[in-house]
């Protein structure tokens, strides 16, 4: 079982979109995929039309009172299951803090599902917190969308520092530029330069596109309903990069 964490320190950068589309692509290849929506806002859960509710809330899951598998819901897609978001996840930091070895807790919980899934995708709330530390510790690969802005290099540095500072074996980092507008020179330049200068930045960029926004209206991954759109192609390329690392 491989764990992919879609993570960003900053919100609104396309983290949930990446998580949902990559999860769909992995499942479409026949891999058994679980998408855990850890963001109390429940974007991924909403996009897959599932009720954002877990019986007993985050506490039941974190304390082990309720097994993760009992909270899993099938999505409308074969091989893609979802552990829905719950509003109580906003207190996940406190819940984890009350556990022994809090940063290892999420990984331990997922260990129980190792026989049932080939890939777990974690969609994490944007923050630097005990939860994000826990997620980074559990992950094999951190997928990080970065906005094409003058500060993006700094964002990347912070991300690397954060990953390095996390205890345990460090996951791989795969950053990519998100919401790229090809009409803007700076976006084009950053898209060309960053992958050349940093080995952990993908050459694939995800464009800013109305189709991506449409996902919220259609409530389905763009790779499903517009597979040949530029954004869907970007996600396919990103997933291929991830899958290539895992074969």
* Interacting span for another protein (CB under 8 A) from 59-67, 76-84, 144-152, 159-167: 76-84
Provide the 10 A C-beta neighbour count for residue 169.
Answer: 7
Per CB under 8 A, the list member of 12, 29, 168, 240 interacting with another protein is: 29
* Interacting span for another protein (CB under 8 A) from 73-81, 98-106, 167-175, 176-184: 73-81
Residue 19 binds another protein, judged by CB under 8 A: no
DSSP lists the bridge partners of residue 36 as 83, 122
Report the distance separating Cα 229 and Cα 208, nearest Å.
Answer: 12
Residue 15 binds another protein, judged by CB under 8 A: no
- Of 78 and 157, the one with the shorter C-beta distance to another protein is 78
At a CB cut-off of 8 Å and minimum separation 6, what does 35 contact?
A: 19, 20, 23, 44, 48, 75, 80, 81, 82, 83, 120, 121, 123
Per CB under 8 A, the list member of 4, 44, 79, 102 interacting with another protein is: 79
List the interface residues with another protein, window 147-176 (CB under 8 A). none
**Is the separation of the CB atoms in 160 and 154 below 8 Å?**
no
Q: What is the per-residue binding string for another protein in 185-214, x denoting contact by CB under 8 A? A: ------------------------------
List the interface residues with another protein, window 218-247 (CB under 8 A). 219
End-to-end CA distance of the chain: 12
Q: Which two tokens stand for residue 25?
A: 């692509």
* DSSP codes, 84-98: ---GGGGGHHHHHHT
- Of 94 and 114, the one with the shorter C-beta distance to another protein is 114
Residue 72 binds another protein, judged by CB under 8 A: yes
The SS3 assignment for 158 reads helix
What are the φ and ψ backbone dihedral angles of 230, each rounded to 5 degrees? -55, -40
Residue 49 binds another protein, judged by CB under 8 A: yes
Q: Which two tokens stand for residue 49?
A: 């039309």
Residue 216 binds another protein, judged by CB under 8 A: no
Residue 50 binds another protein, judged by CB under 8 A: yes
Residue 110 binds another protein, judged by CB under 8 A: no
- Of 72 and 124, the one with the shorter C-beta distance to another protein is 72
Report the distance separating Cα 162 and Cα 175, nearest Å.
Answer: 14
The SS3 assignment for 226 reads coil
- Of 79 and 105, the one with the shorter C-beta distance to another protein is 79
Binding site for another protein (CB under 8 A): 29-30, 32, 34, 48-51, 69, 71-74, 76, 78-79, 81, 116-117, 219
């Amino acid at each position: 079982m491989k764990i992919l964490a879609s993570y960003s320190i900053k919100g609104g950068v396309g983290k949930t979109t990446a998580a949902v589309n990559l999860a769909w692509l992995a499942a479409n290849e026949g891999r058994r995929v679980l998408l855990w929506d850890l963001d109390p806002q429940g974007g991924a859960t909403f996009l897959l039309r599932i009720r954002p509710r877990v019986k007993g809330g985050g506490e039941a899951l974190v304390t082990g009172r309720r097994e993760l598998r009992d909270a899993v819901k099938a999505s409308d897609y074969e091989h893609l299951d979802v552990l829905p978001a719950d509003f109580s996840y906003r207190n996940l930091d406190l819940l984890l803090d009350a556990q022994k070895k809090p940063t290892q807790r999420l990984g331990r919980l997922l260990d129980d599902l190792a026989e049932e899934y080939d890939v777990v995708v974690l969609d994490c709330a944007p923050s630097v917190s005990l939860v994000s530390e826990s997620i980074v510790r559990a992950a094999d690969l951190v997928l990080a969308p970065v906005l094409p802005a003058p500060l993006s290099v700094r964002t990347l540095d912070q991300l690397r520092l954060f990953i390095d500072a996390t205890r345990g074996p460090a996951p791989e980092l795969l950053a990519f530029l998100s919401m790229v507008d090809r009409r803007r020179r700076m976006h084009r330049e950053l898209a060309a330069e960053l992958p050349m200068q940093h080995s952990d930045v993908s050459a694939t960029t995800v464009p800013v596109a109305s189709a991506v926004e449409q996902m919220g209206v259609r409530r389905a991954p763009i790779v499903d309903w517009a597979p040949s759109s530029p954004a869907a192609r970007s996600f396919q390329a990103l997933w291929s990069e991830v899958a290539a690392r895992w074969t």
